[in-house]
Amino acid sequence: MTSPIAAPFKYNGTAKGLMMWASSELEHVGRIISIEDPNIQYTYALSTVNGMAHLKDALFEYISDHPESHMKSDLLVIHEKVVRVMKHLIKDFALDLSTIEAFNTKGTLSTLNYLKNGNQSGGKRKSRKSRKTRKNRKIYY
């Protein structure tokens, strides 16, 4: 059985190629902010989220298909960063994901439900400060 977050099509990317693609997609975020017109920002952000959705799927595919890759940990970090940026773009520019879903006429993207429901894991995540504080807390008896 395939994963619900796996894309129905194969990207067959290389680790280096995926890292370069991620770098390119993440550069777009700075360009979106540099534009003053909110309509252009919305359109550019929507296009960027669409590209990042494909990138996220390609990263997931590579990580799944190459579990022994020495690049796996780096690609997992990039995958998490891409998803986090996608969520911020959706929130900050009030993007309508149904537009991306409607544009996906050939069904190449995996489901975008994880972007609609907050965290991918579905649970509440503690802040970095609270995790750090709890981890480093000394217990005195």
How much is the pLDDT for 119?
41
DSSP 119: S
The answer on pLDDT for 1 being more than 60 is no
**Nearest-CA neighbor of 16 among 71, 68, 53, 63?**
71
pLDDT digit string (tens) for 54-96? 999 999 999 999 988 899 999 999 999 999 999 999 999 999 8
Would you say the C-alpha torsion 79, 81, 82, 84 has a positive or negative sign? positive
> By the 8 A CB rule, do 89 and 29 touch?
yes
Q: What is the pTM of this model?
A: 0.74
Q: What average pLDDT does range 117-135 have in this prediction? A: 47
